[in-house]
Structure formats: structure tokens, C-alpha cells
């Protein structure tokens, strides 16, 4: 039922404050909607009391049917409500939510206290431009990268989309926001000779699990999380394939290691494996069974290939640190783990594999993604193709 409070100001003018309790918000706070009604000039007190009761009833009915627009909400308050919503409903992956949360501090400082109905394209654009200024990135002393700027735009845009759903605004001001283009670093890749030498050394000196891990990322271009998420049931030995259906990731101490789905829909894929990889899988399984018998009750039962001494999923940083140390001991070039994926794509493209096939193997959502990342390799392949055609044409001319 509506609560009605009569007010009289210093000039003796009468007004009524009508308050309606309209349920609870997502974070548990009670939603209160209010309106002020002033009697018309000439109304008696009794007439005013009767009319305010009617106005209160109408207002309460509108509130029940969500016909009253909400008051203006500050961007940071709505953003927190939205982040809480997607965390509970799991509309986005844990990694995506954490990335969005990492945008909060700078965004709130710049536009957090502006109400969403007043937040303009110009204000958002000015904020994004400020992110590219020198010194914003405290690690490098430079501005934030083009990719990171886009993360901030996504964060703001997603909150504004939520504002539209809530009926607070009708248009999203984030449309056509520009970013400051930054110089893209050349992808570090291993040459074919370096890859051969690294895999040869690993094959001779590494434990079985690392032999398999590095063969997978070198031969198939798997992402680290995709390789670490593999389980024995993902392998089909009759067909000689492996299915990529999950990833193993680490976010922070509170989240720890968690299992998620691959990056995009097209990242769910089945790949053909070389026999040398398939032959090692049963060997690894036998070794882990022996370790399980040694551990007894300390063993954690999983189906994962890459595990710790007691059966728990391997920490995503472990292969990186192991490989870094291995390269130092063996005097081999160290370019990180993702360079194996870049090297696979580069060697495939320059070797003549068509871009759509490479894109499919890598699990990219669009062929254009592969083209943008591996521009140099594509250009090399194009030059090679043109030279082949030129040689064929010249050859024909000579034979004629």
C-alpha cells in the first residue's frame, strides 16, 4: 500500500509525497518509487485528501505494472548491478567477467558518477582517448594498447545495453567510438629449424607429459588452455583424432584453476593427430596409473592428461616455467608458449595450406581473424603463389 505524507512549506503551500515499495533489486535492496502531488488551487482540504488517495492508487498500480520509469542511476551503480547479474547468471565466462572488472577503476574515476541518461558519446570518446596517453600503462610508461582500449569500450557498452533493458535510456552512446591505433608488435615465431631442434631435445630429455604437450601445441596449434583441458576420453584412437571441448584456466587465488569452454563456438573442433603423439598417450596413462598406486588416498581422480603428482589439474603456468627453464639449460631460444601456435599458423600458410583450413584448425571464429593476425605469412604465401603462376606462364611461353 502506498505511503502518503503531507508537507507544508514556509509559504504555506501544501504538497503530498507518495511513496510505494516496489519489491527488491537484484542486490537485495528495497526498491522505493516516489512522486509528489500538489492540490489544484481552490481545492478544499477534504477534496485534496480524497484526490491524493486516488493519485496514490493510480501511482501504485503503475508501479506494480512497471509503468513508472526509474530515477536516473549513476553509471558505476548500474555497472556493479550488471556485473553482479552476469556473475550469478554466468552469462559470460569467468575470464571475461574478470577482464570487465579490471576496467572498473579507470572507468569509474572518469565517468562513474555520471548518470546513464546523461552519459554522452563525447564523454565516452574523451575517456577512451585519454587511455592512449603516455603513462597510463604503469608497466610500460606508454598508453594502453588498441586492444585494451576496445575492452574498455565493450565494458561501457555492455553496461549501457543493460541500461536500455532497464528502460533507463533508449540509445547506446557507445556506437562508433574510436580508438587510438597503436603499433602492433610482430608475432614471435620459431623458424622451422628452431622448431625441429626444440622438439628433438624435448623428445630426448623431457618427461612423457611434456613431450605430448609440446607436440600438441606445435603440430596442432592448440592454445595452452585447450591442451591443458584435454582428457583421455577426448581421444579417438581408431580415427586418430582429438576433440577440443574444454579449457583449463587460472584466474587468481580466490578463483584458482577452473574449467571452461573453448574461446568461441568454432573453437570446438576435432583434429587429426600424428601417430607419434597417439603412441605416447597410453604410455602416459600407464605412468599415471603407477603414480596413482603410489599416492593411495592422496590421489585426486580426474581424466586429465596433464596433472600434478597427486592427480590434480596442472597449473596453467607450469608448462611455461618448465619450458623457460628447459630452454635456458639447453641453450635454446625461448619465445613463450603461444609462439608455437603462431609458428604452426605461419608454417602452414607459407607452406601453401589455404587460409580457411588454417583458420578452422586454429579455431578462429572468422577467417578474417587469421588474415589479420598472420598478415606477413599471408603476404609471403601470396608472393610465392604469384611466382609459381609467373613461372608457369613463362614456361608455357618458352615451350610455345
Q: What pTM does this model have?
A: 0.69
List C-alpha distances in Å: 323 to 33, 191, 199, 211, 218.
60, 17, 11, 11, 13
Packing angle of the helix pair 280-295, 208-219 (nearest 10 deg)? 140
Average confidence (pLDDT) over 275-284: 95
In terms of DSSP H, where are the helices of the chain? 45-64, 75-89, 94-101, 104-111, 121-131, 146-165, 192-205, 208-219, 224-228, 275-278, 280-295, 318-330, 338-350, 355-362, 367-373, 375-399
Q: Are 214 and 252 in contact (CB under 8 A)?
A: no
DSSP annotation of 265 = G
Each residue of 203-215: pLDDT tens digit?
999 999 999 999 9
Each residue of 150-189: pLDDT tens digit?
999 999 999 999 998 887 888 899 989 999 988 777 778 8
Nearest to 127 by CA among 115, 144, 102, 140: 144
For position 6, what pLDDT does the model report?
92
For position 382, what pLDDT does the model report?
62
For position 377, what pLDDT does the model report?
64
Which 3 state secondary structure label does DSSP give 29? coil
**Residue 79: exposure state from Cβ atoms within 10 A (0-12, 13-18, ≥19):** buried
Cα gap 247→263, rounded to integer Å: 8
Amino acid at each position: 500500500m502506498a505511503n502518503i505524507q503531507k508537507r507544508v512549506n514556509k509559504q504555506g503551500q501544501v504538497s503530498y509525497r507518495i511513496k510505494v515499495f516496489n519489491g527488491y533489486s537484484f542486490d537485495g535492496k528495497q526498491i522505493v518509487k516516489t512522486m509528489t502531488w500538489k492540490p489544484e488551487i481552490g481545492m478544499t482540504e477534504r477534496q485534496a485528501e480524497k484526490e491524493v488517495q486516488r493519485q496514490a492508487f493510480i501511482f501504485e498500480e503503475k508501479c506494480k505494472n512497471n509503468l513508472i520509469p526509474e530515477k536516473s542511476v549513476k553509471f558505476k551503480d548500474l555497472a556493479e548491478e550488471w556485473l553482479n547479474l552476469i556473475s550469478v547468471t554466468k552469462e559470460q565466462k569467468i575470464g571475461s567477467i574478470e577482464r570487465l572488472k579490471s576496467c572498473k577503476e579507470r572507468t569509474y574515476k572518469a565517468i562513474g558518477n555520471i548518470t546513464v541518461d546523461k552519459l554522452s558519446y563525447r564523454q565516452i570518446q574523451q575517456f577512451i582517448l585519454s587511455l592512449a596517453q603516455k603513462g597510463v600503462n604503469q608497466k610500460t610508461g606508454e598508453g594502453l594498447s588498441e586492444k585494451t582500449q576496445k575492452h574498455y569500450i565493450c565494458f561501457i557498452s555492455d553496461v549501457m545495453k543493460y541500461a536500455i533493458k532497464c528502460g533507463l535510456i533508449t540509445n547506446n552512446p557507445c556506437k562508433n567510438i574510436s580508438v587510438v591505433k597503436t603499433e602492433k608488435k610482430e608475432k614471435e615465431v620459431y623458424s622451422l629449424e628452431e622448431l625441429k631442434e626444440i622438439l628433438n631435445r624435448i623428445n630426448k630429455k623431457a618427461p612423457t607429459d611434456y613431450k605430448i604437450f609440446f607436440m600438441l601445441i606445435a603440430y596442432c596449434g592448440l592454445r595452452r588452455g585447450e591442451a591443458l583441458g584435454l582428457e583421455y576420453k577426448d581421444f579417438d584412437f581408431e580415427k586418430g583424432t582429438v576433440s577440443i571441448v574444454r579449457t583449463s584456466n587460472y584466474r587468481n587465488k580466490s578463483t584458482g584453476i577452473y574449467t571452461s569452454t573453448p574461446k568461441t563456438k568454432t573453437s570446438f573442433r576435432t583434429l587429426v593427430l600424428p601417430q607419434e603423439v597417439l603412441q605416447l598417450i597410453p604410455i602416459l596413462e600407464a605412468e599415471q596409473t603407477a603414480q596413482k598406486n603410489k599416492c593411495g588416498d592422496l590421489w585426486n581422480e580426474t581424466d586429465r592428461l596433464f596433472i600434478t603428482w597427486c592427480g590434480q589439474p596442472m597449473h596453467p603456468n607450469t608448462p611455461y616455467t618448465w619450458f623457460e627453464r628447459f630452454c635456458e639449460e639447453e641453450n635454446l631460444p625461448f619465445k613463450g608458449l603461444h609462439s608455437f601456435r603462431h609458428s604452426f599458423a605461419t608454417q602452414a600458410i607459407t607452406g601453401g595450406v589455404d587460409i580457411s583450413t588454417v583458420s578452422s584448425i586454429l579455431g578462429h571464429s572468422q577467417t578474417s581473424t587469421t588474415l589479420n593476425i598472420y598478415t606477413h605469412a599471408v603476404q609471403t604465401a601470396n608472393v610465392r603463389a604469384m611466382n609459381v603462376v609467373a613461372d608457369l606462364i613463362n614456361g608455357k611461353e618458352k615451350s610455345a
